[in-house]
Amino acid sequence: MPGFDVTRADQRRARGLVVCASLVLSAGLLTALMTSRDTRSDAAGLALPAAAVAVMDVNAAALEIGSDATEPAPPSETTTLAMPLNPARLDATAFSACTHCPVTIQVEREVPRGGTLAGLLEDAGVDPADSVKAIRALNQVFDLRYLRAGQNLNLYLETEPDTSVEADEETESRLRLTGISFRPDVDRSITVARIWGDEYRARETIAEFERQVVRSSGSITSSLYVDALNAGATDRIVVELAGVLAYAIDFQRSIQPGDGFDILFERFVNEEGNTARTGDILYARYEGRGEPKEFFRFETSDGGIGYYSAEGASAQRLLMLTPINGARLSSSFGRRRHPILGYTRAHNGTDFAAPTGTPIFAAGNGVVERANRFGSFGNYVKIRHANGFETAYAHLNGFARGIRAGTRVTQGQVIAYVGTTGRSTGPHLHYEVHQNGRPVNPMTLDLPTGRQLTDADMPAFIAERDRIITIRDGARPANDTETPMMADSSNGAR
């Protein structure tokens, strides 16, 4: 026909066939994808049906200008197309399929007596190379010589698959040390953590506590210990109070129901208002038989710290009245019928009944003259003091470490423990005081004070005494649980 171009007609017909084939195959691909969507697995790639590959090949051919293609090329059976995956499902699949992933565990260990940190880590199964690096880092913030027996440490360990074994052998694991933490003091914590590159870094953290000055006062109804605790004092404060008053009060005979006590002391509380620790006793007063005993804490110009009366006389005396706490006076000084021998004879000391093992203190500074077995006294200690005084302690269960003839001891130092050795009917301490070789009654002895403040120290002491009185009068009760107002310099607090 005139005007009819056969070549162009063939090209248009070929293009039409390609378009129709593309539409049909696209519909088939969409149907296949919709039916297989819920059953396919989350693999790294997804293989497309051969029809989809054919469509891609046909379209590519159709886009070539002047192409002579009249039918699609045969599909390739090995062609695949990577598809994007759901990250959340990929993570879940990866971890559920991991059979030897590292696991971090926390274990608590206690430093044994005579043990070392290196030995403790070795017993916990830590890699020796990790132990060396961690200890080297810890030494930069904490002197390991002060790591005491009984200290609790938290170890953070990570199991790591050992890749050195053969593929057909059972996979083993070793422990990697990821961290150490412990608290050498109530306000201090030490941490060691693994950082990048198998190295360790140590850190020391100091907790900040609020300082409070509180007052614990009341009267005796059952015992000084119980009543002071009920008034807000702590175990440590009661023990220190006994030390302050030990030179002026016979705790075995002088304390009676109705006696009054008053203690002003420091305490440090955390953010929740809980007492983390207690500080110093600033003031102590006891009202019983006779004149009230009142003492103030003061540091002298030469750095000595002690407790003094309002007139500057030291609370500390040459000898303690009773060198034992929590005991019962079972026999006084003087003549008595001996419980074993059965006849009356002089009793040149005072007996204090107490459970076996109760600590016994040196009544004063001095030198041990003997610490051994001594006849009917059983285990026996004798100490020589100043001004011609000597003290003796008998029927002991055993001696404290280091106590032997020639040892110098300080007042209040533990020297022995209550027992029932020698001629004894039960566990007790037989305590004697000799002055210039003659036995005297320690309960009635007028002992000299340890120190009287000098004229140079008195002005500073008076100022400190008055400051403590001001704080005492404005202090809140120690057993008051309400949130206190912050102290400032206007009320003398520091």
How does pLDDT run across 237-275, given as a tens digit for each residue? 988 888 788 777 766 666 788 899 999 999 988 877 778
Query: Rounded distance, CA 237 to CA 269, Å?
Result: 15
Domain 214-308 architecture: Roll (3.10)
Which region among 116-130, 300-314, 439-453 has the lowest average model confidence (pLDDT)? 439-453
Check if 104-206 and 214-308 are the same fold: yes
**pLDDT higher for 76 or 127?**
127
What tokens does 438 get?
């003659």
Look up the CATH number of domain 328-440. 2.70.70.10
* Residue 285 pLDDT > 50: yes
Query: Rounded distance, CA 336 to CA 78, Å?
Result: 115
Query: Rounded distance, CA 437 to CA 48, Å?
Result: 112
Instruction: Compute the average pLDDT of residues 162-181.
Output: 62
How does pLDDT run across 184-235, given as a tens digit for each residue? 887 788 999 988 778 899 998 888 888 889 999 999 888 888 899 999 998 8
How does pLDDT run across 389-439, given as a tens digit for each residue? 999 999 998 899 899 999 999 888 899 999 888 878 788 888 889 888 888
Indicate the pLDDT class of residue 19, thresholds 50, 70 and 90. low
Which region among 44-48, 173-177, 375-379, 488-492 has the lowest average model confidence (pLDDT)? 488-492
pLDDT recorded at residue 249? 76
Strand ranges, E, within 354-461: 359-361, 366-373, 379-384, 389-399, 408-409, 414-418, 428-435, 438-440
Indicate the pLDDT class of residue 470, thresholds 50, 70 and 90. very high
Query: Rounded distance, CA 110 to CA 154, Å?
Result: 9
* Residue 56 pLDDT > 60: no
Is 0.85 topped by the overall pTM? no
What is the overall mean pLDDT for the chain?
Answer: 76
Specify the amino acid at residue 466. Answer: D
* Residue 48 pLDDT > 90: no
Residue with tokens 């001095």: 366
Strands 188-195 and 173-185: antiparallel
The domain made up of 104-206 has a fold known as Nuclear Transport Factor 2; Chain: A, (3.10.450)
Locate the domains of the chain by residue range.
6-35+44-83, 104-206, 214-308, 328-440
Query: Rounded distance, CA 224 to CA 137, Å?
Result: 48
